[in-house]
Amino acid sequence: MPILSLAWKSLLNRRGTALLTLIAIALSVTLLIGVERLRNEARASFANTISGTDLIVGARSGAVQLLLYSVFRIGNPTNNLSWDSYQDIAAHPRVAWTVPLSLGDSHRGYRVLGTTPAYFEHYRYAGDRHLALAAGTRFSDLYDAVLGAEVAEALGYGLGTSIVIAHGAADVSFARHQDKPFQVVGILARTGTPVDRTVHVSLEAIEAIHAGWEGGAPVPGLSLSAEQARALDLTPEAITAVLVGLKSRIATFQVQRFVNDYRAEPLTAILPGVALSELWGLIGIAENALLVVSGFVVVVGLFGMLTAILTSLNERRREMAVLRSVGARPGHVFALIMGEAGFLTLLGAALGIALLYGLLLGAQPLIETRLGLFIAVGAPSGHELALLAAVILAGFLVGSIPGWRAYRLSLADGLSLRL
């Protein structure tokens, strides 16, 4: 206890340098643990994007590409899936349900998804959570639209708002289906998935707005009003992808083989979980690089502490000599320096954790709203505690270097210095 008291008084005497060192350690710990927390929560959110779907079927392509455009609304398909092929898959005796998806249009930068009411019944996320409506109802009329939470909030839309869908991802005037506006009838509750950034309409609506269009542009001289389109046969000719649920997971590979060997057209069936793992493996490289960078920030902070203590040693040789002269042993001097380093590290780690939790509490709503990522403000995980322990141990090890140097300073060397 006397050694700790001396260490505390010594730090107070050099409070300016000690405070800067403390801030550096606290910020580095905040960054290190914050990156680890974001990494784990992002991984969990990523894995929970889609649940309960056994297979995703689309045109022949890579598993990651099919997953990206069908689930994450990123990129475009290499080709479409014919409606006849979709019906063959839906009629397979092992298939319990299917959800057809049609992509290719947008509204002010947000993807438009054509689907059926089965989408709201069978789409699951975060384990077994259903899609829920925050307001309104599901689409029932041909020109009804249901918005994701982010779309409604970002664009300021409410129930009854009239919206115009554009052909393709670019919302330019010549590509808009202005003659067939939609009305917002429902807004989904926030899910933290790409559903929040999607405008949902019926498959028939996708066919209706493209009636009289060919090759991504209206046919000259052919114009069909919204009411005239209602009278047409709006059965789709092709769709983008299909979510498939099976009666038994034992049949997963059997149905996957049936799709992959389908002779009418080249198709691909992927397991969402396997494709998610493959995609995360690609993203994980950047994730690990970020963790390494934050680790180096901690190292820089600890080296800053080492530099500060070593620099002060030459100024404190008289202090060490006086301690030795009043009975302090070399081990006491070593413990004094180690106590200072350990105290700075422990206090810096505690302040870093407190700063991290303060930032999480303040930024949690903003992160969830802007990024669709929920960051839990809970007790540190086992891995986070292990990282903290490693930082504290490293702090003590760094403190042993100036401690050993102070240990070797002789009493005569200290007393021979002039004030």
What is the Cα–Cα distance from 84 to 182, expressed in whole angstroms? 28
Q: Is pLDDT at 334 greater than 90 in this prediction?
A: no
According to DSSP, the residues that pair with 249 across neighbouring strands are none
Can you tell me the distance from the alpha carbon of 73 to that of 69, in angstroms, rounded to the nearest whole number?
Answer: 4
Contact 279, 64 (CB under 8 A): yes
Do 146 and 234 have their domain in common?
Answer: yes
Q: Region 379-399: what's the mean pLDDT?
A: 84
Question: If you search the block for the tokens 């092709």, which residue do you land on?
Answer: 238
Per the structure, the complete domain to which residue 320 belongs is given by 2-46+284-415
Instruction: Judge if 86 and 144 occupy the same domain.
Output: yes
- The predicted model scores a pTM of 0.72
Same domain for 163 and 201, yes or no, is yes
Asked if 202 contacts 160 with a C-beta cutoff of 8 angstroms, the reply is: no
CA pair distance 4, 340, nearest whole angstrom: 8
In a domain, 278, yes or no: no
Mean pLDDT throughout 49-78? 90
Strands 55-59, 267-270: pairing kind: antiparallel
What residues contact residue 411 under an 8 Å CB cut-off, 6+ apart? Answer: 321, 324, 325
% of residues, the chain, pLDDT over 90: 35
291's CB contacts (< 8 A; 6+ apart) are 35, 36, 39
| Mean pLDDT, range 327-335, rounded to an integer | 69
Shared domain check, 288 and 250: no
Residue 292 lies in a domain: yes
Domain count for the chain: 2
Same domain, 203 and 332: no
Report the C-alpha gap between 260 and 62 in whole angstroms: 12
pLDDT band at residue 418, thresholds of 50, 70 and 90? very low
Q: Does residue 18 form part of some domain?
A: yes
What length does the chain have? 419
- Of 236, 270, 304, the position where a domain reaches its end is 270
pLDDT digits (tens, 9 = 90+) for 168-215: 766 654 577 888 899 999 999 988 889 999 999 999 999 998 887 666
* Phi, psi (rounded to 5 degrees) for 253: -70, -25
| Amino acid code (one letter) for 351 | L
pLDDT over threshold 70, residue 276: yes
Same domain, 79 and 13: no
| Residue 214: predicted pLDDT | 66
- Pair (176, 254) in one structural domain: yes
Find, among 192, 132, 147, the residue nearest to 364 by Cα.
192
Do the strands 110-115 and 124-125 form a parallel or antiparallel pair, or are they unpaired?
Answer: unpaired
Q: Is residue 279 in a domain?
A: no
Residue 391 backbone class (left: φ over 0; alpha: ψ -120 to 50; beta: rest): alpha
Mean pLDDT of the chain: 83
CA nearest to 71, candidates 55, 49, 46: 49
The answer as to whether 276 is a domain residue is no
pLDDT (mean) for 164-168: 85
Could you tell me if 338 and 407 are in contact, meaning their C-beta atoms sit under 8 angstroms apart? no
Higher-pLDDT residue of 180 and 167 is: 180
Is residue 317 a part of any domain in this protein?
Answer: yes
The last residue of a domain, from among 243, 270, 297: 270
| Residue 375 maps to a domain | yes
Pair (208, 70) in one structural domain: yes
Check if the beta carbon of residue 416 is closer than 8 Å to that of residue 330. no
Question: Which of 270, 294, 329 finishes a domain?
Answer: 270
Does 195 map to a domain?
yes
